[in-house]
């Protein structure tokens, strides 16, 4: 590793700290600015002022804002999210321990699907520019992009679970199998492999297909369009013409020279898209009754459970920061102009 | 007959047409000339005269909306216009190679210099011993005046001149016989340009390659070329040795072009010559000789009939009515003495 690459990595990692800090701060501020008293909305209008005050005190809500803020920050650093306000006051950490793997198990295949499928289709369209297949792919990208995720999910459910019942309708696993299933990491696919529970693995995979494809497809349009436009530009660049002039084969020029250069802008997109993917997960999880972070967030917002909401969004922020960091590091490995 | 006189490329009646919305444009119109083995041939003309299109046509790098509409390009006796994809790919790189104007963008930014060169060899040669190839590449790069360790660099770490030398190296690594340099020195500063020009000459001497230098810079041609071809509006209007063209220019366009070159001498009080008019719109080229609307020596005949390219002195060809007879011609044909 060269000194400049090391410097780049150190700078980039250090930059992640203020980024996550700003995100968490925004979450904190938004939660305080939003209308509605969390105590009143929790316990109803009938509780006495003394009871409300007692709860406020217990939660630290009576303290000055800056104290609450630093307290919140300190807890986020130690990954101590407190307990949920409602429904058994379960520690949020335990809740997220179950929910986060569920969401990651959904979003990671989605991300791989959307990136691979989108990039390949985009590159293929660029190579066949202005031919019918290019128009077809472009049309597909617009249509897929403009369909709301939940609507696409419902259509898929009707087709693949109701009309031709080949895929399960919702959930993460067949309820009958779930009784004998022992989660370890809460990634059901990994757990069923670890415990050698093959029927469970089959069920987990079958349940994963529809939600992850739905979520992935919704974002594919962006990848197709971005890859296509960058590829077209790249294929017209001088170094491709020069490569052609020294007799390099066309597939090599397209998929090796042009595509590798096209990855540079796309890498940035993958990082940014991850945030959108998490937002999409909220809708997808609701549509497919997937017990992940997204659905948890929706439930808790409805209950105005601000500690849970705060913690969930905070974890989302951490993940977006982390993925962006990973992408930027990969970026440096692909593009020597950043490395040196 | 020595090596220099042996013909490498024979271009016959080559035409390239751009299909535009306003109609077909004949950017290269029935051009014929030869490139000899081991010579440096300068191809000069104004922007848009078809010289770059001609250069690309020699590698069959003409893409829609342009099209080669006629003629032959005989490379070592074989017409490359009849080659299929595979033979064409083999021809590009192994036989002929091209250097482009902008050295900043003509190398893949994410590929090391060495990988460019090794790739070219691996793609074109069936059985290659990697160690052997690396050795070959390193030797070549040193001969081009680039330090050996720089082959591990990425293009953006090299200077413009070094990048152009890498481009030349990409032609030489497969022992191509023809290098087409399309405005290859234009974007370099004068000192780097002068070095590269020297180097091109050395490369020709060492490797015996033919180099086609396409440029609008007539001073560069005077310095480097053995022979010069002058293009105007898609036609080849004059061709001859560098001495013939610079000491006895015949075509009125060539003469105008030479008088338009600014001189660096301080005592030069003479106003720079400006050629009248503009290059013609090739969707509707002028009738007869395409230069006649701008020509100071035009005759009635010039707008009616197109002159042929004629050899008026040994090796000196010109396409102009001043030097050939025609029944309707009113002024006497000029005698050429060189």
Three-state SS at B10: strand
Mean pLDDT for B181-197 is: 82
The 10s digit of each residue's pLDDT in A232-249 is 988 888 899 889 888 888
User: Chain A contacts of B111, Cβ < 8 Å?
Assistant: 257
Please state whether beta strands B235-241 and B316-318 pair in parallel, antiparallel, or not at all (unpaired).
antiparallel
Shortest CB distance from A340 goes to which of B91, B98, B157? B157
B108:A246 CB<8 A = no
Residue A167 and residue B83: Cα distance in Å, rounded? 54
Predicted pLDDT of residue A43: 67
Cβ–Cβ under 8 Å, residues B54 and B43: yes
What are the angstrom distances between the C-alpha of A233 and each of A229, A259, B217? 6, 11, 30
Cβ–Cβ under 8 Å, residues A239 and B107: yes
Place of tokens 């780097």: B192
A336:B109 CB<8 A = yes
Which residue of chain A has the CA closest to B93? Answer: A246
pLDDT by position in tens, chain A (length 340): 567 778 878 888 888 888 888 888 888 888 777 776 667 666 666 777 787 787 777 777 778 888 888 888 888 888 777 777 666 667 888 888 888 888 888 988 998 899 889 999 999 999 888 899 999 999 999 999 899 888 999 999 999 988 888 888 888 887 777 777 777 788 888 888 888 778 888 888 888 889 999 999 988 998 999 999 999 988 888 899 889 888 888 888 888 888 888 888 888 788 778 878 888 888 888 888 888 888 888 888 877 777 788 888 888 888 888 888 888 888 777 787 776 6
Cβ–Cβ under 8 Å, residues A111 and A327: no
Which 43-82 residues of chain B touch chain A by CB within 8 A?
59, 61
Please state whether beta strands B227-232 and B310-313 pair in parallel, antiparallel, or not at all (unpaired).
unpaired
pLDDT band at B2 (very low <50, low <70, confident <90, very high): very low
- Which among B201, B115, B222, B233 has a CA at the least distance from the CA of B166? B115
Cβ–Cβ under 8 Å, residues A318 and A306: no
Residue A115 and residue A268: Cα distance in Å, rounded? 12
- CA A39 from chain centre, in angstroms, equals 31
User: Chain B contacts of A257, Cβ < 8 Å?
Assistant: 108, 111
The answer, for B20 touching chain A at a CB cutoff of 8 Å, is no
Interface test with B, best of A235, A246, A264, A340 (most B CBs within 10 A): A246
Which 143-162 residues of chain B touch chain A by CB within 8 A?
154, 156-157
Give the distance from residue B228's alpha carbon to the nearest chain A alpha carbon, in angstroms.
24
A335:B109 CB<8 A = yes
Give the distance from residue A258's alpha carbon to the nearest chain B alpha carbon, in angstroms.
9
Residue B185 and residue A277: Cα distance in Å, rounded? 49
User: Chain B contacts of A267, Cβ < 8 Å?
Assistant: none
Cβ–Cβ under 8 Å, residues B207 and B37: no
Tell me the longest C-alpha to C-alpha distance in chain B.
71
A247:B110 CB<8 A = no
B78: which 2 tokens?
């074989």
Give the distance from residue B231's alpha carbon to the nearest chain A alpha carbon, in angstroms.
23
Q: Return the exposure string of B256-282: e unless at least 16 CB atoms fall within 10 Å of the residue's CB, then b.
A: bbbeeeeeeeeeeeeeeeebeeebbeb
Q: Return the exposure string of A207-232: e unless at least 16 CB atoms fall within 10 Å of the residue's CB, then b.
A: bbebbbbbbbbbbbbbbbbbbbebbb
H-type alpha helices, B97-189: 113-124, 130-143, 160-172
The answer, for B102 touching chain A at a CB cutoff of 8 Å, is yes
User: Chain A contacts of B88, Cβ < 8 Å?
Assistant: 247
B102:A238 CB<8 A = yes
**Fold adopted by A93-339:** MetI-like fold (1.10.3720)
The 10s digit of each residue's pLDDT in A9-67 is 888 888 888 888 888 888 888 877 777 666 766 666 677 778 778 777 777 777 888 88
A247:B91 CB<8 A = yes
From edge to edge, which strands make up the β-sheet containing B210-215?
B96-99, B178-182, B210-215, B40-44, B227-232, B235-241, B316-318, B310-313
């Amino acid at each position: 590793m060269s000194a400049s690459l090391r410097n780049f990595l150190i700078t980039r990692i250090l930059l992640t700290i203020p980024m996550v800090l700003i995100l968490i701060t925004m979450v904190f501020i938004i939660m305080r600015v939003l209308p509605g008293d969390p105590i009143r909305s929790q316990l109803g209008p009938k509780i006495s002022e003394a009871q409300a005050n007692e709860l406020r005190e217990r939660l630290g809500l009576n303290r000055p804002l800056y104290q609450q803020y630093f307290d919140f920050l300190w807890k986020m650093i130690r990954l101590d999210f407190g307990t949920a306000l409602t429904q058994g006051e379960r520690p949020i950490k335990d809740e997220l321990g179950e929910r986060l793997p569920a969401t990651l198990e959904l979003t990671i295949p989605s991300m791989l699907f959307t990136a691979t499928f989108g990039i390949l289709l985009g590159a293929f369209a660029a190579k066949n520019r202005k031919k019918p297949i290019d128009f077809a792919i472009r049309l597909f990208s617009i249509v897929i992009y403009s369909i709301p995720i939940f609507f696409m999910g419902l259509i898929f459910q009707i087709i693949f679970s109701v009309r031709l019942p080949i895929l399960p309708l919702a959930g993460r696993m067949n309820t009958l199998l779930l009784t004998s299933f022992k989660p370890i990491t809460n990634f059901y696919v990994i757990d069923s492999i670890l415990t050698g529970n093959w029927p469970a693995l089959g069920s987990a995979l079958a349940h994963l297909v529809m939600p992850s494809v739905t979520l992935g497809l919704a974002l594919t349009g962006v990848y197709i369009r971005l890859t296509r436009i960058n590829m077209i530009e790249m294929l017209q660049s001088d170094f491709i013409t020069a490569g052609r002039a020294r007799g390099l084969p066309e597939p090599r020029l397209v998929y090796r020279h042009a595509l590798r250069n096209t990855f540079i802008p796309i890498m940035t997109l993958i990082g940014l898209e991850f945030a959108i993917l998490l937002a999409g997960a909220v809708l997808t999880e609701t549509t497919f009754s997937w017990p992940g972070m997204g659905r948890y967030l929706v439930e808790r917002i409805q209950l105005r459970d601000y500690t849970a909401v705060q913690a969930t969004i905070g974890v989302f922020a951490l993940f977006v920061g982390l993925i962006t960091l990973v992408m930027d590091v990969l970026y440096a490995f692909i593009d020597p102009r950043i490395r040196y | 007959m020595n090596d220099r006189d042996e013909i490498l490329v024979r271009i016959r009646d080559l035409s390239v047409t751009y299909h535009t919305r306003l109609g077909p444009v004949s950017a290269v119109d029935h051009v014929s000339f030869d490139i000899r083995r081991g010579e440096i041939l300068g191809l000069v003309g104004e922007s848009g005269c078809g010289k770059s299109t001609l250069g690309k046509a020699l590698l069959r790098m003409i893409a829609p909306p342009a099209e080669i509409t006629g003629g032959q390009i005989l490379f070592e006796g074989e017409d490359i216009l009849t080659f299929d994809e595979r033979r064409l790919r083999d021809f590009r790189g192994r036989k002929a190679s091209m250097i482009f104007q902008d050295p900043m963008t003509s190398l893949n930014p994410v590929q090391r210099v060495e990988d460019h060169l090794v790739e070219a060899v691996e793609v074109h040669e069936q059985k290659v011993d990697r160690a052997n190839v690396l050795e070959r590449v390193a030797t070549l790069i040193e001969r081009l005046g680039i330090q050996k360790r720089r082959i591990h660099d990425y293009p953006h770490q090299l200077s413009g001149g070094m990048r152009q030398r890498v481009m030349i190296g990409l032609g030489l690594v497969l022992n191509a016989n023809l290098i087409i340099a399309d405005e290859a020195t234009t974007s370099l500063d004068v000192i780097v340009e002068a070095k590269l020009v020297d180097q091109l000459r050395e490369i020709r001497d060492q490797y015996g390659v033919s180099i086609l230098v396409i440029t609008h810079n007539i001073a560069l041609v005077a310095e480097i070329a053995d022979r010069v071809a002058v293009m105007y509006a898609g036609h080849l209007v004059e061709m001859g040795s560098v001495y013939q063209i610079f000491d006895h220019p015949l075509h009125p366009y060539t003469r105008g072009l030479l008088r338009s070159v600014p001189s660096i001498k301080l005592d030069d009080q003479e106003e720079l010559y400006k050629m009248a008019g503009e290059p013609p719109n090739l969707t509707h080229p002028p009738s007869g000789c395409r230069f006649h609307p701008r020509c100071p020596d035009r005759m009635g005949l010039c707008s009616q009939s197109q002159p042929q390219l004629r050899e008026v002195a040994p090796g000196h060809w010109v396409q102009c009515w001043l030097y050939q007879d025609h029944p309707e011609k009113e002024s006497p044909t000029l005698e050429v003495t060189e």
